[in-house]
Amino acid sequence: MIQSTESNVTEEVTEKRQPTVRVSISLLDSLMNLAGELVLNRNQLLQGLSSANSQMTELSGQRIDMITSELQETIMQTRMQPVGDILENCSQLAMELCTKQRKSVDLVVKGRDVELDKSVLEAVRHPLSVFMAEFITQWIPQTDEDRHDEMPSLHRVYVEALNEVGQVKLFIGFDQTRIPAGRGTGQAVAFENEGVFFPSRTLDLHNPDIKKAVKIIEEIGGNMEVKTQNTGKTGIQIKLPPTLSIIPSQIVESGTERFAIPQVNLNELVRISPNEVDDKIKRIGDADVIQLRGDTLPLVPLARLLEIPDKDADTPRAAMGRHHRSDTAVHIAVVNSGVHKYGLMVDRLQDAEEIVVKPLGQHLKNCRAFGGATIMGDGRVALILDIANIAQMADLSSEVKTGTVSAKDEEMMDDVNSTKEAVLTFRHNEKDHFAMPLENVARIERIRTQDIETIGSNKVFQHRSGTITVYELSRLAGMGPLPEKALQEMIVVKNGGKEMGLLVNAPIDSAMVNLDCQETVLQQDGISGSVVINGHTTMILEIDSLFRLMED
């Protein structure tokens, strides 16, 4: 461990990471009081329990609840310290370095009173100064003495701390848009200068100091990156998660497991009742979106994203567009990662709970979807969702489109995307799986079977915008009849200017397949061949000949 090594740098780190906190006496006094109250109430609770006095038990239970919350809050206060001190240190170091290296900077320090847990604060002190030194030395050019009298090339350097949705961000950077004037007129020259001014925008990870600093940041559960902000500031950003702390969170269920969503990431909870599902949840391409008070939000199905097996094995959710199951309500946690706002589709919503964040072990560092774990009331472990990373993962999977491709196959993705085509998959009856090109799908509707009228030999359906003819795939050779149901899924297929309704069975989903590799065994009128999708031999509809066949 670090304590055992004796080099200068690590010694400093060890000293800084020693777990002592300076606490004001008044805070300690109130802690003492609370502890006293807790003991008193415990005695009352025990008395109540032994005498089976339910009223007394209930009362002391309530009081213990209150005291515990207060105790917890007070204890947290003892650990929280403003970052001002380390920002100050950091800017002092910057000024010293600038004088030494003959660089002139204008230092802007912001967010001194942002608070961090003491242990996080102390751990981040050393890495921050390492980054600062690197930043000044490598990124800031020397003052150009020749031009000095014309116009001082003053670089504005920012050292900032800010609270952002449950995380504290530390930022060392400069304003890229403020490339000093006097170097030329207009943007073009400024742009040209860029290469000269800022030769290095990467961190040299082979530098042992930096390597160590990055490691410390990671050890305390943070991450760092070189980043250009929306405001044009470029620099080193360190994100520190709320480790070692107690956070309010929302518990949700997916499959058989529970997950915690930090309350800071949570905007609202939405339950969409079965009969509203089709109305509120729409599918654009293969992405589900939800209409929420005029906003359109992307939906991320948690179970599908994380490949969580469903509770009831009969309805493998991973394979179906969940909103086509109109028999159950859809539960959505609307979450905000700071960058993305999206709806996280979960199986059930539970209570809000205060949880203690605990880090995950080193064998799970690859599981980016989780920010940590917590222990629930029943002693089981629940994982804490990392909302920002889930947003990233969801974007990624929407490009790949099939849930079976994992992040590991990322390199292959470009390759795959170039040859694959998006298809809509559905079933005719239990055993016959079909797919058709997504580009031929106008929309998917669920209609009542009794609304289908029979005129002559044709079946038609009255629609808002007119009448469309409805067909079934039972017209194809060898297909059995469509099972009769009160509600029927209908794909509105378009081809050129024409539209027709195709009655099909759920689950309706989408997939990426390579249509060039079709087997031709099952080829017939209306079917161009077959491919295997999710383990099922799936017949590919050929839309041109299908239209001809149906209209015969």
Partner 1 sequence: MEVKADDPRSRQIHIATFEVNRSIFGIDISHIQEIDRKNEITPVPQASETVKGVMNLRGNIVTVLDIGKCLGLKPDPANVQTHQIIIGMENEVVGLMVSAIGNIYTVDRVDIEKPPANLCSVNKSHFSGVFKTKDQIIGVLDIHCVLKNEMAD
Residues near partner 1 (CB under 8 A) are 1, 257, 306-308, 358-370, 372-373, 375, 379-383, 406
- Distant-in-sequence, close-in-space partners of 211: CB < 8 Å, separation ≥ 6: 205
- Closer by beta carbon to partner 1, 105 or else 369: 369
Of residues 2 and 27, the one with the C-beta less far from partner 1: 2
Query: To the nearest whole angstrom, how small is the minimum distance from the Cβ of residue 346 to partner 1?
Result: 13
Nearer to partner 1, 186 or 361 (CB): 361
The residues pairing with 295 across neighbouring beta strands, listed in sequence order, are: 292
Q: How distant is the alpha carbon of residue 440 from its chain centre?
A: 32
Work out how close the CB of 18 gets to partner 1 at its nearest, in angstroms, rounded to a whole number. Answer: 17
Residue nearer to partner 1 on the CB measure, 66 or 375:
375
Maximum pairwise Cα distance, the chain: 93
Q: Is the CB of 389 or the CB of 523 nearer to partner 1?
A: 389
Q: Return the axis-axis angle of helices 54-79 and 25-50, rounded to nearest 10°.
A: 160
- Least distance (Å) between residue 16 CB and partner 1: 18
Nearer to partner 1 by C-beta: 271 or 358?
Answer: 358
Phi and psi of 118, rounded to 5°? -50, -45
User: Which of 234, 232, 266, 233 is closest to 251 using CA atoms?
Assistant: 266
User: Rounded CA gap, 419 and 412, in Å?
Assistant: 12
CB of 215 vs partner 1, minimal distance in Å: 12
Q: How far apart are CA 405 and CA 402, in angstroms?
A: 6
Q: Which two tokens stand for residue 537?
A: 């031999």
Q: How far is the CB of 324 from partner 1 (least distance, A)?
A: 23
16 versus 178: smaller Cβ distance to partner 1:
16
The least CB distance from residue 260 to partner 1, in Å, is 12
HSE-CB for 341 with a 13 A CA cutoff: 11
The continuous run of DSSP H or E covering 253 comes out as strand 246-254
Altogether, the residues listed in the chain come to a count of 552
| Other CB atoms within 10 A of residue 407 CB | 13
Output the smallest distance, CB 126 to partner 1, in A: 18
* CB 271, CB 331: distance < 8 Å: yes
Q: What six digits make up the tokens of 280?
A: 């509120």
Residue whose tokens read 């599918």:
283
Q: Which is nearer to partner 1, 1 or 477 (CB)?
A: 1
Query: What is the smallest separation between the CB atom of 63 and partner 1, expressed in angstroms?
Result: 25
What is the torsional sign of CA 382, 388, 392, 395?
A: positive
